[in-house]
Structure 1
Amino acid sequence: MVNAVSTTRTLAVALLWMLAVLAVAPSASARNYVVPGSEAAGLGACVEPTELMRRQHMEFIKHQRDRTVHSGIRTSKYSLAGCVECHIGHDVRGQAVPINRADQFCGACHAYAAVDLNCFDCHAAVPRGPMAGPMAEAARRAVGEAHHGQGAGQP
């Protein structure tokens, strides 16, 4: 009887320990959602340290939105368009794949976290226009400044 209680207690402790490890340690798929072949895959860091971006990216995007909508200040550091441009994946033909698709950067992470991803109800899920990349961003900024006066870019 004592032996059975001891074995049961040991199994219970082992099970609790395993559950705690699983709860604290992210799965392999949760650790890295950078899509192979994206611009982000070739970079050492995002606009902020990875752990900070994972926890606060929505705050950065929200504050960027407020500065843009309420004050007319457009910067590219936390722009949703910049996120899309850097983290977008491409299919075998080289066409941009919507970033909110389940196997892409935003879609995969939001599915893992069980968070509704509604940004792309209004915003483009792929880079706009025929150009993509840092040179395209500079060109868009120059065209926007000429057209809108200053600091324009895409939402």
Structure 2
Amino acid sequence: MARLSSWLRLAALIGAAAVLAAPSFQAAAGADKPKLERGKGEKCVEDTDFMRRNHMDLLKHHRDETMHKGIRTTKHSLKGCVQCHASEKTGSVAATKEDFCAACHSYASVKLDCWDCHATKPMAKKPGKTEPQAEVTASPLMATTQNGGAKQ
């Protein structure tokens, strides 16, 4: 009887290991990359492979140059990315899991937190306004900051 229970435990352990290892084998085999809408411009500001690997560093650098040094350029601005890559269907880069940013970040299992502070849709010009106005989107962070830190 003791011998049977040890075989059952071994079989259960092997089964659990196989279930846990399956996603690793699928990833190694190369899961399908997300299908993305083509951007609105003729070409991106950088090569596609470069952007896949380095866009976050470019955005952080651009943020630091703008916020800390007051240097405003358009080449690697988040605003430019949103204007070019917003979906034709949703008008956003992160409204649905198929939208440009959301699709890649979901595929890579990376948290997409840019939109806690930034607009996910391109800025639209309002009549009588000289500067375009961003559409404000709901975010968990906005709920805490607008109510003095208290969540509703």
Normalising by structure 2, we get a TM-score of 0.60
Task: Compute the displacement of 1:114 (Å).
Answer: 0.6
3-state SS of 1:81 partner: helix
Q: 2:108 aligned with 1:119, yes or no?
A: no
Q: 2:28 aligned with 1:23, yes or no?
A: yes
Runs of 4+ that moved beyond 6 A: none
Q: Does the Cα contact within 8 Å between 2:93 and 2:99 map onto a contact in 1?
A: yes
Question: 2:56 maps to what in 1?
Answer: 58
Question: 1:67 maps to what in 2?
Answer: 65
Amino acid at match of 1:97: G
Amino acid at match of 1:103: E
Deviation per CA, 1:15-60: give whole Å up to 9, x if none.
xxxx48x526452x33x52x15x404xx3x3111111100000000
Q: 2:91 aligned with 1:97, yes or no?
A: yes
Check 1:118–1:82 CA distance in 2 against 1; reply closer, same or farther (3 A cut): same
Q: Tell me, which stretches of 5 or more residues in structure 1 are unaligned?
A: 1-18, 132-138, 142-155
Amino acid at match of 2:85: H
Using the alignment, how far apart are the partners of 1:114 and 1:25 within structure 2?
15
Deviation per CA, 1:113-137: give whole Å up to 9, x if none.
1111110111010011238xxxxxx
Using the alignment, how far apart are the partners of 2:76 and 2:31 within structure 1?
25
Using the alignment, how far apart are the partners of 1:105 and 1:23 within structure 2?
24
Q: Does the Cα contact within 8 Å between 2:62 and 2:77 map onto a contact in 1?
A: yes
The sequence identity of aligned pairs, in percent, is: 41
Q: Flag the structure with more relative contact order, 1 or 2, with Cα contacts below 8 A and sequence separation at least 6.
A: 1
Using the alignment, how far apart are the partners of 2:58 and 2:29 within structure 1?
25
Task: Compute the displacement of 1:90 (Å).
Answer: 1.9
Check 1:123–1:23 CA distance in 2 against 1; reply closer, same or farther (3 A cut): same
Using the alignment, how far apart are the partners of 2:81 and 2:125 within structure 1?
17
Q: Does the Cα contact within 8 Å between 2:125 and 2:131 map onto a contact in 1?
A: no
3-state SS of 2:50 partner: helix
